[in-house]
Amino acid sequence: MAVLVNNLQDEIPVPMDLISLLEKIGTFVLRLEGVGTQGEVSIVLVDNSYIHELNLTYRGKDAPTDVLAFNLQDGCAAAEEDDLLGDVVISLEKATEQSRALGHSLKREVAFLAVHGILHLLGYDHDSDAAEQEMKEKQEMVLHRFGL
Protein backbone atom coordinates (compact mmCIF):
# COMPACT_ATOMS: atom_id res chain seq x y z
CA MET A 1 0.00 0.00 0.00
CA ALA A 2 1.45 3.35 -1.01
CA VAL A 3 0.59 6.93 -0.25
CA LEU A 4 2.60 9.26 -2.45
CA VAL A 5 2.84 12.94 -1.51
CA ASN A 6 3.81 15.47 -4.17
CA ASN A 7 4.27 19.18 -3.45
CA LEU A 8 3.52 21.24 -6.59
CA GLN A 9 3.39 24.65 -4.94
CA ASP A 10 5.93 27.04 -3.49
CA GLU A 11 3.68 29.46 -1.55
CA ILE A 12 3.70 27.56 1.77
CA PRO A 13 6.79 25.79 3.13
CA VAL A 14 6.17 22.06 3.54
CA PRO A 15 8.25 20.45 6.27
CA MET A 16 9.26 16.81 5.87
CA ASP A 17 7.35 15.88 9.03
CA LEU A 18 4.10 16.98 7.33
CA ILE A 19 4.84 14.80 4.32
CA SER A 20 5.65 11.88 6.62
CA LEU A 21 2.43 12.47 8.59
CA LEU A 22 0.34 12.46 5.40
CA GLU A 23 1.95 9.19 4.30
CA LYS A 24 1.29 7.58 7.71
CA ILE A 25 -2.28 8.84 7.99
CA GLY A 26 -3.08 7.80 4.44
CA THR A 27 -1.67 4.32 4.99
CA PHE A 28 -3.62 4.03 8.25
CA VAL A 29 -6.91 4.96 6.55
CA LEU A 30 -6.31 2.54 3.67
CA ARG A 31 -5.48 -0.28 6.08
CA LEU A 32 -8.48 0.59 8.29
CA GLU A 33 -10.77 0.38 5.27
CA GLY A 34 -9.36 -2.95 4.13
CA VAL A 35 -7.55 -1.76 1.02
CA GLY A 36 -5.11 -4.39 -0.21
CA THR A 37 -1.36 -3.99 -0.05
CA GLN A 38 -1.24 -2.91 -3.69
CA GLY A 39 -3.60 0.07 -3.17
CA GLU A 40 -2.13 3.45 -4.05
CA VAL A 41 -3.25 7.01 -3.35
CA SER A 42 -1.57 10.23 -4.42
CA ILE A 43 -1.81 13.36 -2.27
CA VAL A 44 -0.92 16.48 -4.25
CA LEU A 45 -0.24 19.78 -2.47
CA VAL A 46 -1.04 22.82 -4.63
CA ASP A 47 -1.78 26.54 -4.41
CA ASN A 48 -5.13 28.31 -4.83
CA SER A 49 -4.55 29.05 -8.50
CA TYR A 50 -3.97 25.39 -9.35
CA ILE A 51 -6.97 24.07 -7.42
CA HIS A 52 -9.14 26.91 -8.77
CA GLU A 53 -8.43 25.71 -12.31
CA LEU A 54 -9.25 22.10 -11.39
CA ASN A 55 -12.43 23.15 -9.59
CA LEU A 56 -13.57 25.14 -12.63
CA THR A 57 -12.66 22.44 -15.14
CA TYR A 58 -14.09 19.43 -13.32
CA ARG A 59 -16.85 20.86 -11.12
CA GLY A 60 -17.83 24.06 -12.92
CA LYS A 61 -17.10 26.11 -9.78
CA ASP A 62 -15.19 29.32 -10.43
CA ALA A 63 -13.36 29.54 -7.09
CA PRO A 64 -10.55 27.83 -5.24
CA THR A 65 -11.54 25.08 -2.80
CA ASP A 66 -9.69 23.26 -0.05
CA VAL A 67 -9.65 19.67 -1.33
CA LEU A 68 -10.67 17.71 -4.41
CA ALA A 69 -10.70 13.93 -4.76
CA PHE A 70 -10.34 12.31 -8.16
CA ASN A 71 -11.35 8.67 -8.05
CA LEU A 72 -9.55 6.75 -10.77
CA GLN A 73 -11.87 3.77 -10.32
CA ASP A 74 -15.20 5.49 -11.04
CA GLY A 75 -17.13 3.42 -13.49
CA CYS A 76 -14.50 0.69 -13.79
CA ALA A 77 -15.79 -2.87 -13.78
CA ALA A 78 -12.47 -4.14 -12.42
CA ALA A 79 -12.08 -1.38 -9.83
CA GLU A 80 -11.31 -3.72 -6.96
CA GLU A 81 -8.37 -5.18 -8.86
CA ASP A 82 -6.94 -1.79 -9.80
CA ASP A 83 -4.02 -0.57 -7.69
CA LEU A 84 -4.53 3.14 -8.27
CA LEU A 85 -7.37 4.48 -6.15
CA GLY A 86 -7.00 8.13 -7.10
CA ASP A 87 -5.64 11.56 -6.29
CA VAL A 88 -6.38 13.88 -3.40
CA VAL A 89 -5.51 17.49 -4.27
CA ILE A 90 -5.14 19.93 -1.36
CA SER A 91 -4.69 23.69 -1.58
CA LEU A 92 -2.17 24.65 1.10
CA GLU A 93 -3.19 28.29 0.78
CA LYS A 94 -6.83 27.42 1.50
CA ALA A 95 -5.77 25.07 4.30
CA THR A 96 -3.74 27.89 5.86
CA GLU A 97 -6.73 30.26 5.72
CA GLN A 98 -9.00 27.63 7.27
CA SER A 99 -6.56 26.63 10.02
CA ARG A 100 -6.28 30.27 11.09
CA ALA A 101 -10.06 30.78 10.99
CA LEU A 102 -10.66 27.61 13.01
CA GLY A 103 -7.82 28.23 15.47
CA HIS A 104 -5.83 25.06 14.93
CA SER A 105 -2.55 24.10 13.28
CA LEU A 106 -1.92 23.85 9.57
CA LYS A 107 -0.75 20.27 10.18
CA ARG A 108 -4.15 19.38 11.65
CA GLU A 109 -6.05 21.05 8.78
CA VAL A 110 -4.00 19.38 6.05
CA ALA A 111 -4.32 16.00 7.79
CA PHE A 112 -8.09 16.47 8.02
CA LEU A 113 -8.32 17.36 4.32
CA ALA A 114 -6.20 14.34 3.38
CA VAL A 115 -8.39 11.96 5.40
CA HIS A 116 -11.52 13.58 3.99
CA GLY A 117 -10.27 13.18 0.42
CA ILE A 118 -9.13 9.58 0.90
CA LEU A 119 -12.50 8.66 2.39
CA HIS A 120 -14.17 10.13 -0.71
CA LEU A 121 -11.92 7.93 -2.87
CA LEU A 122 -13.11 4.93 -0.84
CA GLY A 123 -16.76 5.73 -1.50
CA TYR A 124 -17.71 7.81 1.55
CA ASP A 125 -19.81 10.89 0.96
CA HIS A 126 -21.83 13.48 2.84
CA ASP A 127 -24.96 13.58 0.71
CA SER A 128 -27.23 12.61 3.62
CA ASP A 129 -27.18 13.30 7.35
CA ALA A 130 -26.36 9.67 8.14
CA ALA A 131 -23.54 9.50 5.56
CA GLU A 132 -22.14 12.82 6.75
CA GLN A 133 -22.17 11.63 10.36
CA GLU A 134 -20.42 8.37 9.46
CA MET A 135 -17.73 10.25 7.52
CA LYS A 136 -17.29 12.80 10.32
CA GLU A 137 -16.87 10.08 12.95
CA LYS A 138 -14.29 8.26 10.86
CA GLN A 139 -12.34 11.49 10.23
CA GLU A 140 -12.32 12.41 13.91
CA MET A 141 -11.25 8.91 14.96
CA VAL A 142 -8.28 9.02 12.58
CA LEU A 143 -7.25 12.53 13.67
CA HIS A 144 -7.56 11.52 17.33
CA ARG A 145 -5.43 8.42 16.67
CA PHE A 146 -2.65 10.72 15.42
CA GLY A 147 -3.00 13.24 18.25
CA LEU A 148 -4.60 15.87 16.07
Model confidence pLDDT, tens digit, residues 91-121: 999 999 999 999 999 999 999 999 999 999 9
Cβ atoms of 92 and 14 closer than 8 Å: yes
Domain of residue 105, CATH code: 3.40.390.30
Q: Which positions ≥6 away from 81 have C-beta within 8 Å?
A: none
Look up the domain containing 76 and give its range: 2-145
Model confidence pLDDT, tens digit, residues 125-148: 888 889 899 999 999 999 999 999
Q: What distance in Å separates the CA atoms of residue 108 and residue 110, rounded to the nearest whole number? A: 6
Q: What distance in Å separates the CA atoms of residue 36 and residue 109, rounded to the nearest whole number? A: 27
Model confidence pLDDT, tens digit, residues 62-90: 999 999 999 987 655 444 455 789 999 99
CA angle 19, 5, 33 (to 5 degrees): 95
What confidence score (pLDDT) does residue 1 get? 72
* Total of domains in the chain: 1
Supply the mean pLDDT for the chain.
91
